[in-house]
Structure 1
Amino acid sequence: MGARSKARKRAVDFLYEADLLGSDAVTLLASRVGSPDVPPVNDYTVTLVEGVTANRSRIDDLISEHAEGWTLQRMPAVDRAILRLGLYELLWAADVPDAVAIDEAVELAKGLSTDDSPRFVNGVLGRIAVIADQLRAVL
């Protein structure tokens, strides 16, 4: 697994935990950085957690609009975290090609969630990818 893939996995861990605790992911991350009990946190993990947190309202709106038949609250928490990260990379990470953002999110879903989750994550992000250029123009 490459360094960025590991950073993505770690970012999902922080986003997931913060979601379950009802806390801010950046605050949770900050409490862990430099702790002797926690392995060092990759810079890209920090970028992802901060980016998702800063754009969370817009990210959640887009997921809600494009997750056919699912509300954000009804989704498994790990799927929410993966979708938030994938959508952040899709729209805000200029150095990550759209296909890579989607593929990485699907791989995370394969390893962390249910058997149906990879297809669900791919579907939601794929629908948003079709209009990604239009969305980026208004961000």
Structure 2
Amino acid sequence: MNRKRSREVTMELLFENAIKKEEPIDLIENFKENTEYNINDLDMVYINRIVYGVNKNIKEIDENIEKYLVNWKIQRISKVNLSILRLCTYEILFEEDIPFKVAINEGVELAKKYSDEASIKFINGVLDKIAKNN
């Protein structure tokens, strides 16, 4: 199973949820029914755990992100960047088997693929501060 691809799918689902505000079960079922990916190539256990975990702990995750925003409000962050930050913050705070450095690096890689140059530094900086203080 491809963890990198699974993390990407998870970020996309969190992005979709930031827009649609659906329940995790609906998001995941809709994804399974409509995806072009081969579900067997994805780590669905990981995807489920993260999507449900972010949903359950959204308040704590967003509070952690907001703590390290300089001259920004969480509402002003693009939905893509917020989805990356939520995914990686969840991994840092709640996933003991994922090292901080991996979570931060994967967040930066997602930003390189889905966002712009300024966002890469922004995401790296916020995640680094969250990791150092938890």
Do the structures match in fold with TM over 0.5? Answer: yes
Aligned residue for 1:119, secondary structure, equals helix
Distance 1:88 1:17 in 2: 17
How far is 1:73 from its partner?
A: 0.8
Name 2:85's counterpart in structure 1: 83
Q: Aligned ranges for residues 80-119 of structure 1 at < 5 Å?
A: 80-119=82-121
Name 1:15's counterpart in structure 2: 14
Residues 109-138 of structure 1: CA distance to partner in whole angstroms, max 9, x if unpaired? 110011111100110011111111xxxxxx
How far is 1:8 from its partner?
A: 0.7
The RMSD of aligned alpha carbons is 1.6
How far is 1:47 from its partner?
A: 1.4
Structure 2 unmatched runs, 5+? none
Distance 2:20 2:76 in 1: 17
Instruction: Give the number of aligned pairs.
Output: 129
Q: Which runs of 4+ in 1 moved over 4 A?
A: none
Distance 1:57 1:24 in 2: 16
Counterpart AA for 1:100: V
TM-score of the aligned structures, taking structure 1 as reference length: 0.85
Distance 2:24 2:17 in 1: 5
- Higher helix residue share: 2
TM-score of the aligned structures, taking structure 2 as reference length: 0.88
Counterpart AA for 1:61: E
How far is 1:48 from its partner?
A: 1.3
Structure 1 unmatched runs, 5+? 133-139
Identity of aligned residues (%): 34
- Candidates 46, 49, 52, aligned match of 2:48: 46
Residues 24-73 of structure 1: CA distance to partner in whole angstroms, max 9, x if unpaired? 3443123333x2x3232532111111111111110011111111111111
Name 2:59's counterpart in structure 1: 57
Distance 1:70 1:43 in 2: 34
Distance 1:126 1:106 in 2: 11
* Contact 1:26–1:49 (8 Å) recurs in 2: no
Mean Cα deviation higher: 62-71 or 87-96: 62-71
